[in-house]
Amino acid sequence: MLEISIVIYSLDEKVLSSTVQSIIVSAKKLPPHLGIKKITLIDNGDNKNELLSFIESYSAFSLNIQYYSAGENLGYGQAHNIAIYRSDAFYHLIVNPDVIISPESLWTGINYLENNNEVVAVSPSAVDGKNNIHYLAKSYPSLLVLLVRALNLKKIEKNILKKIEKYELREVVHNKKIVEVQIISGCFMLCKTKALHKVGGFDSRYFLYFEDFSLSIELHKIGKIMYLPDMKIIHFGGNSSRKGMKHIFMFVSSMIKFFNRYGWKIF
Radius of gyration of the chain, Cα coordinates, nearest whole angstrom: 18
Q: Distance between CA 149 and CA 255 in Å, rounded?
A: 13
Query: Rounded to two decimals, what is the model's pTM?
Result: 0.94
Nearest CA to 137 among 171, 189, 181, 176? 181
- pLDDT by 10s per residue, the chain, length 267: 999 999 999 999 999 999 999 999 999 999 988 999 999 999 999 999 999 999 999 988 888 999 999 999 999 999 999 999 999 999 999 999 999 999 999 999 999 999 999 999 999 999 999 999 999 999 999 999 999 988 778 778 888 999 999 999 999 999 999 999 999 999 999 999 999 999 999 999 999 999 999 999 999 999 999 999 999 999 997 555 556 788 888 999 999 999 999 999 999
First to last CA, the chain: 43
Q: Are strands 2-8 and 36-43 parallel, antiparallel or unpaired?
A: parallel
Q: If you ran DSSP here, which 8-state letter would residue 149 be given?
A: H
What is the per-residue pLDDT for 137?
97
* Residue 242: predicted pLDDT: 57
What is the C-alpha to C-alpha distance for residues 138 and 90, in angstroms, rounded to an integer? 26
pLDDT of residue 84: 98
For residue 100, the one-letter residue type is: I
CA distances for 109 relative to 41, 105, 182, angstroms: 22, 6, 17
> Checking DSSP bridges between strand 119-127 and strand 188-192, what pairing results, if any?
antiparallel
- Extended strands (E) in the chain: 2-8, 36-43, 65-69, 91-95, 99-101, 119-127, 133-134, 179-181, 188-192, 224-235
Q: Which domains does the chain have, with CATH numbers?
A: 2-262 (3.90.550.10)
User: Reduced to 3 DSSP states, what percent helix, strand and coil does the chain have, rounded to the nearest 5?
Assistant: 45, 25, 35
